[in-house]
Structure 1
Amino acid sequence: MLQNRGLPREFTIVIPALNEEQVIGDLLRRIDAALAGRSFDIIVVDDGSDDGTAAQVLAGPSHWRVIQHDVRAGQSAAIHTGVVAARSELIVTLDADGQNPPEEIPKLLAAWSENKGKVELGLVAGQRIKRQDRRAKLWASRAANFIRGAALKDGTRDTGCGLKVFPREVFLSLPYFDHMHRFLPALVVRSGLVVVHVDVAHAARQGGVSKYTNLQRALVGVVDLVGVMWLIRRKKTTHARELQKAPAKLSNVQ
C-alpha cells in the first residue's frame, strides 16, 4: 500500500500520464520554472505506459516522483493513486499532454489563497478559454458540458479541464468511481463545499495522441451522469454535535 511518507510540502502536483514520453519532460521543466521558489512535489502516475514516460521522470530531480500502475486503470484511478501518495494537504492537478499550460498554476493557487478564508472552499477549477482542439472534439465537449450542467446544476461550464486545486482530505472523502474526475465540481458541491472557477489558457498538443474518442466519452458519460445524479439525490445533509455530560457533583459524606 502506498503511503505519503516524507517531509510535508506546500502542495503536491499530481499528473496522470499514459504514453506521454514525447512531452512529459518539457512539461515538468515548465512547471519548475513557473513555480520557482515554492516548495512542492510532482507525482507523475504512469498508468501502465509502454513507452519511456517513467524513464523521463526518473531522469529528473528528486522532487519529480513517479508511481507506475502495473495495468492501465484510467485517469481517475491515476489521480487517486497520486493523491494518496502525496506529502502535502493541498493538491494541484493537470493533464500530462501539455495542453494545460503550467504557467496557469499560480493563478489557481492565488484564487485558492484569496478565497479559502472567506468560504468553505473545496475546489478551484480551471475552465478553458480559446481551446486548441479539433472542431469535432470542441462540439462534442460543448454538448456534453451543456447536458451535464443542465442535469447537475454545478455551475461549471468545463469539467474536462485538468487544472484543479483541492485539499487532499476533501478529495479522499468523495465517492470514488471510474471517471469521477469529470464530475469533481458536482461532487464537491454535493459535499456542501464551494467551487471557485478560474479561466485558464489552453494549448495545442505538441506530441503523442489523445487517449479518448468522442464516442468513448459519450458512452461512458451517459452512464456516469446517471450515477452522479443518483448520488446527489441520495445525499442527506445533517449537522451533528457531541453532547456534554454535566459535571459530577462532589459528595459531602463525612
Structure 2
Amino acid sequence: MADSPVPDVSVVVPVHNEAGAAGPLAREIAQAFAGRSYEMIFVNDASRDTTLAELQALKTELPALRVLSHGANAGQSRAVRTGVLAARAPIVVTLDGDGQNPPADAPRLVDLLAASPESVALVGGVRAKRQDSEAKRWASRWANRIRKRLLGDDADDTGCGLKAFRREVFLRLPYFDHIHRYLPALMIREGYENRYLDVDHRHRETGQSKYTNWGRLMASVSDLMGVMWLKSRSRRPGVVSEV
C-alpha cells in the first residue's frame, strides 16, 4: 500500500454491527468510483456481528478496500477520524455504514469540491427525500433549526452522512465525540466555506439505528453548548505571510 500511487479520493465508512449492509455498500462504492483514482476505508467500530468478517472476505474482490478495526467501541465520530487519519488522499468522502446514503451521489460531491477554490472546505449532502420515520424527520427538522440559529451555520441537513471535505482542514478541527454533526459550523469557524448538493436517501434494509430521538437530544444539548463555546473562543489571524 505504501508504494502504490496516492489516490485522489479516500472514501471513509464507519460501521458498527452492519452485517448484511457493509459488503453490498463496498461493492456500490467500487461501482460509483470505477475508473477513478480512489481508495475506500471501512472502519469497523468493534462490531459484535459478522461485519468484520464480511469485509475481510471482500478484500481480494475489491483491491481498493482497506479495513481498519477498533479494539473497543468508540462511536461514529472516532471511527470517521480513524479513517481520515489513515486516508492517503487530499479529499475524503464519508458515508454512513447502513447503506442509506447511495454511493452513486458521492462523485458529484467530490467533483464540486475539486472544482471549488481552496476557501471551500466541505460539500455536504442534503437528503432531498429522506426515507426515515416521520418522528425522526420531525426531530431532525427542529434540531437543524435550533442548531442553525445558535451556531449561525449554513447547513439544512448536518446529519447527512454523505460529505466530501479536504482532509488537511478536517484534521485542524478540535476533535470531540459527535463532531461529524458539526462539521459545517467548525469549517466556518476556521474561516472556510461550505457548499451543498441534494442527494438521495434510502430505507434501511438491514440492522437497526444506533440512535434514538431522546438519546440524540441529550447529546445535542451538551454538544451545542460546547460548539458555541468553541466558536466564542475563536480568533482569526487574517492573511498569514512569511517575512
TM-superposition CA deviations, 1:197-226 (whole Å, max 9, x none): 111111100111000111110000000001
The match for 2:242 is 242
Match of 1:51 among 49, 52, 59: 49
Q: What is the DSSP-based 3-state SS (H/G/I as helix, E as strand, rest coil) of the residue aligned with 1:106? A: helix
After the TM superposition, which residues 1-254 of structure 1 pair with which residues of structure 2 at under 5 Å, given as runs?
5-7=2-4, 8-60=6-58, 61-115=62-116, 117=117, 120-239=119-238, 240-243=240-243
What is the alpha-carbon distance in structure 2 between the residues aligned to residue 100 and residue 62 of structure 1? 22
CA contact (8 A) 2:7 2:37 kept: yes
Structure 1: any 5+ residue segments left out of the alignment?
244-254
Q: What is the DSSP-based 3-state SS (H/G/I as helix, E as strand, rest coil) of the residue aligned with 1:45? A: strand
What is the alpha-carbon distance in structure 2 between the residues aligned to residue 230 and residue 113 of structure 1? 32
Opposite residue 216 of structure 2, the aligned amino acid is: R
What is the alpha-carbon distance in structure 1 between the residues aligned to residue 94 and residue 139 of structure 2? 23
TM-superposition CA deviations, 1:99-140 (whole Å, max 9, x none): 10111012111211332x3x5111011111110001111111
CA contact (8 A) 2:10 2:93 kept: yes
Q: What is the DSSP-based 3-state SS (H/G/I as helix, E as strand, rest coil) of the residue aligned with 1:173? A: coil
Aligned residues, how many?
238
Percent of pairs with identical residues: 48
CA contact (8 A) 2:91 2:110 kept: no
**RMSD after superposition:** 1.2
What is the alpha-carbon distance in structure 2 between the residues aligned to residue 113 and residue 47 of structure 1? 30
Deviation at 1:54, TM superposition (A): 1.1
Deviation at 1:62, TM superposition (A): 2.6
Opposite residue 28 of structure 1, the aligned amino acid is: A
CA contact (8 A) 2:113 2:121 kept: no
Structure 2: any 5+ residue segments left out of the alignment?
none
The higher radius of gyration belongs to 1
What is the alpha-carbon distance in structure 2 between the residues aligned to residue 52 and residue 227 of structure 1? 36
Gap change, CA 1:97 and 1:156, over 3 Å in 2: same
Stretches of 4+ moved more than 4 A in 1?
A: none
Deviation at 1:10, TM superposition (A): 1.1
The match for 1:246 is none
What is the alpha-carbon distance in structure 1 between the residues aligned to residue 102 and residue 135 of structure 2? 22
Opposite residue 189 of structure 1, the aligned amino acid is: I
Give the alignment's TM-score, normalised by structure 1: 0.91
What is the alpha-carbon distance in structure 2 between the residues aligned to residue 6 and residue 210 of structure 1? 39
CA contact (8 A) 1:5 1:87 kept: no
Give the alignment's TM-score, normalised by structure 2: 0.95
Q: What is the DSSP-based 3-state SS (H/G/I as helix, E as strand, rest coil) of the residue aligned with 1:21? A: coil
